[in-house]
Structure 1
């Protein structure tokens, strides 16, 4: 009996493999089927090689700092200026761009820029 049950199971498996494709199955393009059987790819369809080394995600740091209202307002003005130039930019991106400019500046220009920034009292501003 067990052998007969196994034969029935095999027959059902073979029958399901040979059954007509379901209604949801997509028709196969004969050209694509031929390419799949030949093992060759069309040169135009070759994928670009993936880079060997993937860029690692840069870790971000969240920090808070004190800035005078007029300088904070300048960030808004610069965002508007960027929008008029067709660039959608965030405040943090503006600050990072400023850091890049300072980093690229000569020692004399860097020292001059730092001297122009007034020192502020650190900590959170009082509630007024």
Structure 2
């Protein structure tokens, strides 16, 4: 405190010396204000970076990525067994997607019905 008084006298600001006794409140206020600003900015930065992390969703594999489309081609019109095996593999892949939680129950039922109709056509 003496150092501050000497500095004020050196710069010919002796009129401010009586106010030095009340600086404890000012310092306390500045410390509290600094802490509040720090917590505000840290909270703001957390919210900003948390939102950017939520935008990165896990990629849901599509049916075409799991099933190799080359295996589904029919080389011969009488080669129904291979087509049925491919449909069975596709049904298994759809089931894996459903069990893994990547597709909903409605999508699972729709895909299963579509594959069933496809198998019914090739099975006749």
Measured against the shorter chain, the TM-score band is under 0.3
- The TM-score normalised by the length of structure 2 is 0.21
Normalising to structure 1: TM-score of the pair? 0.20
